[in-house]
Amino acid sequence: MYAAIWRLMPGPVWVRILLVLVLLAAVLYSLATWVFPWVDTMVNNQEVTVGAP
């Protein structure tokens, strides 16, 4: 799968590497901005049990 994406990307190797870094940064930014806060609202972090049974 990754090889197919790599072949579809335009330009020489250094442009492809730059595109991969930009895409990775965009994915991480969107996760930290929208996905993780949305999941945090659905997880109840007040009921945490730590200790021996």
- Predicted confidence (pLDDT) per residue in 35-52, tens digit: 999 998 888 777 667 776
6 vs 47, higher pLDDT:
6
Determine the Cα–Cα distance for residues 3 and 7; give it in Å rounded to an integer. Answer: 6
Can you give the pLDDT at residue 2? 83
Its pTM surpasses 0.95: no
Can you give the pLDDT at residue 40? 87
As a whole number, mean pLDDT of residues 1-17 equals 90
Can you give the pLDDT at residue 52? 65
Buried b (16+ CB within 10 A) or exposed e, 12-41: eeeebeeeeeeeeeeeeeeeeeeeeeeeee
Q: Is the pLDDT of residue 53 over 90?
A: no
Determine the Cα–Cα distance for residues 38 and 41; give it in Å rounded to an integer. Answer: 5
